[in-house]
Structure 1
Amino acid sequence: MTYVLPEKLKDLNPYDPVTEDFRIHLDANESFCEVPENIRQEILNAVSNVAFNRYPDPYARKLCEKAGAYYHVDPKLLTAGNGSDELISLVVPYFLDEGDTMLVAVPDFSMYWFYAPFHKIKVESLQKENSMKTSAEEILQRAKEKNAKLLIFSNPCNPTSLGIGRDDIIKIIEGTDALVIVDEAYMEFENENNSVLNEVENYDNLIVLKTCSKAFGMAAIRLGIAVTNEKLTGILHAIKAPYNVNSVTQAIGCVLFSHPEYLASCIDALKASRDELYQAVKAMEDKKTEIETVYETSTNFIFMKVKRAKEVFEALKQRGISIRFMNGYLRVTAGTKAENKEVMEALWELIQ
């Protein structure tokens, strides 16, 4: 007897993060901020008090209290997850039925539609123009045409680095009966008045995702948070695994959200680095004809269209520098001053 794989698994390709060891990693939009010694000591103390023989709190209540205070949101509206990825993997299959359609505006974060084929969910893509922008009207029109039951997008967007204004987000939420997921992983780098986090109780079709992996520099602990109305929060609590966020992550998260002044300093440092890198790339754009477009940025990275982008990407790897190549585009995470300087010197040499 021979086991035969289901059709949905036969051509499956895993998500492809950078796993090679490079001197400079500017490929994953991580933070370069190092946790200061006093907070690191608090973290170690918190972890030392974890009851390792006991299961974690299934609802991460202390963590949600701390995060709720930081975000100025009622903790009962929060659901903690193993990064936003886990929360996306719950919403897509559980909030849609087989044969339903979800709408994404591309390019955007690829994990949004990763889970759809396994559950026979259709994915409708709205291709952004060369400006990498789209409008609320376009999104709503396509959603209506395709009878989409879920609209999901990042704001600001990964990888385009562009944001959508709050008024347009509200227009989308109010203009459809579909569930709307707004992933605000990079909102800390944008004008936070564009956030719709404080609107979750006003709508029955809104989920906002937050993460600790970007602005807060805690990618290692894999902590994401879904914020939504009480009814949808109850459903998320029901469908998630009982002990999905481990006790160590919960303990570290509690320490992290107890230091808003430190988080603010991280955001300021990342914004300053982003602005420095953006200005350097814009200056290079004026002198390098192979750079076709450098997009404005509301994130912690720079996105640009470059001729021979693949060649430039590979040449940087040979120099020990990892950035992201995306089908004719390059995405460069803002790093330390030294990292920004080195990557810019390399780009000056490699781009004609």
Structure 2
Amino acid sequence: MKIESLIRENIRNLAPYSTARDEYSGNLGIYLDANENPFDSGINRYPDPHQRSLKERLAQIKGVSPSMIFTGNGSDEAIDLMFRIFCTPSVDEAISIAPTYGMYKVAAAINDVKLVEVALDEDFALSAAKILEAVTAQTKLVFLCSPNNPSGNLLSGSDIERVLREFHGIVVLDEAYIDFAAQGSSFLSKIVDYENLVVLQTLSKAWGMAGIRLGLAFASELIISTMNRVKYPYNINVLTNRVALENLYSIDSQLTVIVSERERLRQEFSKFDFIKTVFPSDANFLLIKVEEPRKLYDRLIDRGVIVRDRSRIAGCEGCLRVTVGTPEENSKLLEILGDYQ
């Protein structure tokens, strides 16, 4: 497979914007090159357009080369770039599973790319055969989310690998919730084996930094370098970069609590008659099927608890998605559910 041939011709020929910080990247000197305010406030200078120090730290944590890391304004920026780099508007197509994260569909629509949704099998299982059957000559991207949102389950590793082997396009594997799954579930180490694999992760979930909007993409140096050429020059601001570096410490203790609380909620939910199904989860949330989803949702709102109503999504009829909170928040939720019966 020639990845270069999958990239749109205008993107292959793109001469990216060159910033003042591209022309000089040292740390000493009087900066009179970027028309900045010269009075130091901590934020008066433009940020490093390549986030070098942040990528070096992430490389240590993730065990990959900095040149194989893209940092974006949330994972949504990386998703959008996939369409902009690989899909010609009104010509090319993409595939996603369903139900899944809604931004794949939104980004496809924004970029005028047809998105074909392939329904997951029973219990939200991935079928590589069904994905491959949906591929046409115009299909350039396949989006898979594992653990999936809103179902919470890991997708079959063997089916993911079959898609990677047999689909001659780019496979985007969204691992936003992978930190909550069993160790060894991530496909991050496989980016050296599959040049058509792009793995998305984020600091918004397990790392507790949703407010700074920092998403990560891991792929071959060719794909990452192309993403860096297409992105806006200063896509990660000084404050986001600083906060990320200050907070990239061990999260093991928090993960232990969240996973333990997920199991507690699963067990307690199964005791309520009005909760018909508690779906298995490898994420930090549980999808539950209930008798009257909107009634229960409204009751929780009345008591000050907000969950996500997913009952209008095909494949999630009658379902609410409940994020695992702190032990105290979870106890309050269970108390309210006990009063609901």
Decide whether the 8 Å contact of 1:216 with 1:267 is kept in 2.
Answer: no
Deviation per residue, 1:141-196 (Å, 9 max, x gap)? 2235x752110121000100110133322221111012100011111111231211
**Given the alignment, which residue of 307, 310, 317 partners 1:326?**
310
Give the distance between the partners of 2:132 and 2:41, measured in 1 at CA. Answer: 47
2:298 matched to 1:314?
yes
Give the distance between the partners of 2:122 and 2:167, measured in 1 at CA. Answer: 26
Deviation per residue, 1:212-258 (Å, 9 max, x gap)? 1111111111111110000001100001010000111111212223x
2:57 matched to 1:57?
no
- Bigger relative CO (Cα 8 Å, ≥ 6 apart): 1
Aligned residues: 295
Matches within 5 A, 1:1-352: 51-98=42-89, 99-144=91-136, 147-257=138-248, 259=249, 262-284=250-272, 288=273, 290-327=274-311, 328-350=318-340
Amino acid across the alignment from 1:307: E
Give the distance between the partners of 1:210 and 1:105, measured in 2 at CA. Answer: 18
Amino acid across the alignment from 2:70: T
Deviation per residue, 1:253-276 (Å, 9 max, x gap)? 12223x2xx322222121112111
Give the distance between the partners of 1:131 and 1:349, measured in 2 at CA. Answer: 29
- Cα deviation for residue 135 of structure 1 reads 1.7
Give the distance between the partners of 2:133 and 2:277, measured in 1 at CA. Answer: 28
- Cα deviation for residue 90 of structure 1 reads 1.6
**Percent of residue pairs identical:** 32
Secondary structure of 2:267 counterpart: helix
**Structure 2: tracts of 5 or more residues without a match:** 1-39, 312-317
RMSD of equivalent CA atoms: 1.7
Give the distance between the partners of 1:271 and 1:50, measured in 2 at CA. Answer: 41
Deviation per residue, 1:323-342 (Å, 9 max, x gap)? 00012210001111121111
Give the distance between the partners of 1:96 and 1:192, measured in 2 at CA. Answer: 34
In 2 relative to 1, CA 104–344 (structure 1 residues): closer, same or farther, beyond 3 Å? same
Decide whether the 8 Å contact of 2:85 with 2:227 is kept in 1.
Answer: no
Give the distance between the partners of 1:60 and 1:245, measured in 2 at CA. Answer: 8
Give the distance between the partners of 2:294 and 2:121, measured in 1 at CA. Answer: 22
- Cα deviation for residue 138 of structure 1 reads 2.0
Secondary structure of 1:268 counterpart: helix
Query: Higher mean Cα deviation, 314-323 or 248-257?
Result: 248-257
Amino acid across the alignment from 1:94: I
Decide whether the 8 Å contact of 2:126 with 2:159 is kept in 1.
Answer: no
Secondary structure of 1:304 counterpart: strand
